[in-house]
């Protein structure tokens, strides 16, 4: 049997690769930036239907629009790109939805993208926006049963959750807050019945009026915290505590069996 070699491979080898199912290719594509994932559709007819099955939707305007320097044009092009990818990818479910943007995204557009991720039963969400005003997330994100990881590196309001369980299966929560209201945050953390890791960064000026901050959780295992005022921690299962701060403050730790602390 005669084979023709091309760059160390045979045509038969390439035929074997092409017979692999689409989900195998899509699992490989999750390791590439979303811009390169979309570009694979131009490789050949075989690759055209592959990229739409990718389950990690990670958008970064600095990467996607790096060569575009005009702010208005850059933002418009980025929105078109994200809308196109979301509209053309598989609508059933996604593993990760990540959004990093230095341009000011309109709130209506952000709400639409997050809502689409919620509709697709996203498991991990990561949002990092260069925005100094407090923003809102869709209220139905708090009842999403598939969400296990939520990282909010911008100031979001999570006030619209119900009086019952919030984020029922959320295990990891990283959250940034400016001037949080303790009665809201205490209720939020306590209502996350599956939460094991909590990372909180609180922005409040040192000369602002003292404010209590209570963290109460029956499931929390790891806590990383940055805050300038009085903090009460009630977490029976807490084993790892990391306090990141360069100012004097007072902490009270209750209802804990044993833990490792780092200050």
Report CA torsion sign: 116, 48, 77, 149: positive
Report CA torsion sign: 199, 200, 206, 211: negative
What was the pLDDT predicted at 11? 42
Please name which of 187, 123, 200, 190 lies closest in space to residue 159, comparing C-alpha atoms. 187
What was the pLDDT predicted at 106? 86
Integer angstrom CA distances of residue 10 from 15, 237, 254: 9, 58, 67
Instruction: Tell whether the model's pLDDT for residue 132 goes beyond 50.
Output: yes
What was the pLDDT predicted at 71? 60
What was the pLDDT predicted at 119? 92
User: What are the tens digits of pLDDT across the range 70-97?
Assistant: 666 778 888 998 999 898 887 677 899 9
Instruction: Give me the torsion for CA of 156, 216, 117, 33, rounded to 10°.
Output: 80
What was the pLDDT predicted at 6? 47
Contact assessment for residue 149 and residue 175, using Cβ atoms and an 8 Å cutoff: no
Structure confidence at residue 191 as a pLDDT band (50, 70, 90): confident
pTM to 2 decimal places: 0.78
Spell out the SS3 assignment of 47-82.
HCCCHHHCCEEEEEHHHHCCCCCCHHHHHHHHHHHH
User: What are the tens digits of pLDDT across the range 201-255?
Assistant: 877 766 776 666 788 888 999 988 876 667 778 888 888 888 776 555 556 666 5
Q: Could you tell me what percent of the chain has a pLDDT over 70?
A: 65
Contact assessment for residue 85 and residue 57, using Cβ atoms and an 8 Å cutoff: yes
Q: Determine the average pLDDT of the residues in 181-199.
A: 84
User: What are the tens digits of pLDDT across the range 37-58?
Assistant: 777 766 667 677 677 778 889 9
């Amino acid at each position: 049997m005669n084979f023709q070699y091309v760059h160390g491979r045979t045509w038969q080898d390439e035929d074997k690769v092409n017979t692999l199912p689409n989900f195998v290719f899509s699992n490989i594509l999750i390791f590439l930036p979303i811009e390169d994932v979309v570009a694979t559709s131009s490789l050949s007819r075989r690759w055209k239907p592959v990229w739409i099955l990718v389950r990690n939707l990670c958008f970064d305007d600095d990467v996607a629009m790096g060569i575009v320097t005009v702010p208005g044009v850059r933002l418009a092009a980025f929105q078109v790109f994200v809308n196109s990818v979301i509209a053309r990818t598989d609508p059933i479910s996604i593993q990760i939805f990540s959004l990093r943007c230095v341009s000011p995204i309109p709130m209506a557009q952000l709400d639409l993208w997050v809502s689409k991720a919620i509709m697709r039963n996203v498991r991990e969400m990561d949002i990092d926006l260069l925005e100094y005003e407090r923003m809102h997330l869709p209220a139905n994100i708090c009842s999403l049963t598939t969400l296990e990881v939520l990282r909010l590196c911008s100031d979001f309001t999570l006030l619209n959750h119900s009086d019952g369980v919030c984020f029922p299966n959320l295990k990891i929560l990283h959250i940034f807050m400016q001037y949080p209201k303790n009665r809201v945050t205490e209720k939020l953390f306590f209502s996350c019945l599956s939460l094991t890791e909590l990372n909180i960064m609180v922005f409040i000026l040192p000369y602002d009026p003292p404010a209590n901050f209570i963290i109460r959780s029956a499931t929390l295992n790891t806590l990383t915290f940055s805050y300038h005022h009085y903090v009460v921690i009630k977490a029976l299962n807490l084993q790892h505590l990391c306090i990141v701060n360069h100012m004097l403050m007072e902490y009270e730790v209750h209802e804990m069996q044993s833990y490792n602390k780092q200050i």
